[in-house]
Amino acid sequence: MSSAGGAGGAPAGLPCVVAVGPTATGKTRLAVALARRFRGEVISADSRQVYRGLDLGTGKDLEEYGVGAERVPVHLIDIVDPAEPYHLFRFVADAQAALRDVAGRGCLPVIAGGSGLYIHALIHGYALEGTAPSEALREDLAGLSDAELLATLQREAPDLAARVDIHQRRRLVRAVEIARSRAAEPPAGPPPAERLTLRPLLIGPYYPRAEVHARIAARLDARLQAGLIDEVARLHAAGLSWERLAWFGLEYRHVSQYLQGEVDLQGMRETLLARIRRFCKAQDAWLRKIEREGTPIHWLPGGDLAQAVELVERFLAGATLPAPSLRLNEILYGPRGRA
C-alpha cells in the first residue's frame, strides 16, 4: 500500500493521517498538532480510551486537545460506560462513522493510535465477523491458560490465530468467540460496498528504546502522583469488580492488586513498570508487522513536528513522498533492549 500518489494522481481512498508509535512517545500530542495545523479532527484508535472514567490509566491526555475555541475535536473517547462491552467490530463500525462525519465536513481525519490491532483493522479494511461478547462463553474460557486459549484458536480458526495479539488475553478470548460464532452469524459492520477505503499516511515519533523506557517511567510516576490509585479506587467503589478492572489492562490490574493488599506500593510500581515496558515490545511487533506488509511508516526522530508538517503537506498535495529514513525492521535490539 502506498502512502501517496505520484505525478499521475493520488490513489483512490479517503486521505487520513495516522499517528502511531509505542506508548509514551507523544502520539496524541503529534496528532493534535497536525489536526490543528491542517483543519483536522482526531479519531482515537485506543481500545480503552472509549471508556468513561478510565482517564489516567489509559493516558487520555485530554488537556492536549485544548479548550474553548482552540480545542481540537476528538472522537471515540468517553463513549461507553466501563461496565459495557466494547470490541473490535464495534470499534470498526464507530470509526467508519467518525471518518464519514469528519470527512463530510471537509476536515482531515487524524487517527491517533493506540491499539495495534485497531490500527491494522482500519488501514486494511477488515470485514469483521462475530457476535456481541458472550459472558457464558467467557466463563467457560476463564479456566484456560493463555497458551491453551491460543491452542484452541489455532485448532478452530488458524487464520484468526495468525493475526491475533497473543500478548493480550482479552484478544485471545474475543478471537475464540468470533471463531465459535462464524457458522451462525454473518460478518458485522457495513457491507463491503459501503465501507470506506482509506489512503493513510502513517507517521510516528521515534526515540531509541532506552529513551522510550525512561519516558515510560517518567509518565508512570506522573500518573501515580496525579491520582491513578484514587481513580482505580473510585471505579471499584462505583461498582466495577476487581476482575473487571483487571480486564482493562496493566495499570488497572496492578493498582487493583495494591488496593487489595496483595503487594506494597513500591512492588506495584516496579512490577507495573516492567510490564508496561514489555507491552511496549508488543506494540513494536505490531508496527514491524505493518512495515513488513508494505505500509510505510515515516518515523520522526524526537517527534520532529516540522518534518511531520512537511510530510502531510506533500501527502495532501498528492506529491510523491520520500522513502522513510528508518524502518523498525532494520533496527535490531540486544538482549537488554538496546539498539
Q: For the segment 33-89, what is each residue's pLDDT rounded down to a tens digit? A: 999 999 999 999 999 999 999 999 999 999 999 999 899 999 999 999 999 988 887
Task: Select from 62, 71, 54 the least CA-distant residue to 28.
Answer: 62
**303 burial level (CB within 10 Å; 0-12, 13-18, 19+):** buried
Cell of 186: 454473518
User: Could you tell me which residue, 163 or 237, shows the higher pLDDT?
Assistant: 237
Share of the chain above pLDDT 90, in %: 65
Q: What is the pLDDT of residue 1?
A: 34
The per-type count for the chain, helices as H runs and strands as E runs, is 13, 6
Q: What is the pLDDT of residue 63?
A: 94
Q: What mean pLDDT is reported for the chain?
A: 88
In the structure, what pLDDT confidence band is assigned to residue 11 with cuts at 50, 70 and 90? low
CA distances from 239 to 80, 227, 243 (A): 15, 19, 11
In the structure, what pLDDT confidence band is assigned to residue 334 with cuts at 50, 70 and 90? low
Q: For the segment 148-206, what is each residue's pLDDT rounded down to a tens digit? A: 999 998 998 888 888 777 777 877 888 888 888 775 555 545 554 467 899 999 999 99
User: Could you tell me which residue, 181 or 225, shows the higher pLDDT?
Assistant: 225
Please determine, for residue 325, whether its predicted confidence score (pLDDT) is greater than 60: yes
Please determine, for residue 8, whether its predicted confidence score (pLDDT) is greater than 70: no
Please determine, for residue 102, whether its predicted confidence score (pLDDT) is greater than 70: yes
Please determine, for residue 297, whether its predicted confidence score (pLDDT) is greater than 90: yes
Q: What is the pLDDT of residue 259?
A: 98
Q: For the segment 257-296, what is each residue's pLDDT rounded down to a tens digit? A: 999 999 999 999 999 999 999 999 989 998 999 999 999 9
Q: For the segment 116-145, what is each residue's pLDDT rounded down to a tens digit? A: 889 998 988 876 555 666 777 888 888 889
Q: What is the pLDDT of residue 2?
A: 36
Residues 6+ apart with CB under 8 A from 225: none
pTM (whole model) above 0.85: no
Cβ-contact 83, 239 below 8 angstroms? yes
Q: What is the pLDDT of residue 130?
A: 58
Task: Select from 32, 43, 34 the least CA-distant residue to 67.
Answer: 32
d(CA 87, CA 82): 12
Q: What is the pLDDT of residue 3?
A: 40
Give the angle subtended at the CA of 137 by the CAs of 82 and 81, to the nearest 5°.
10
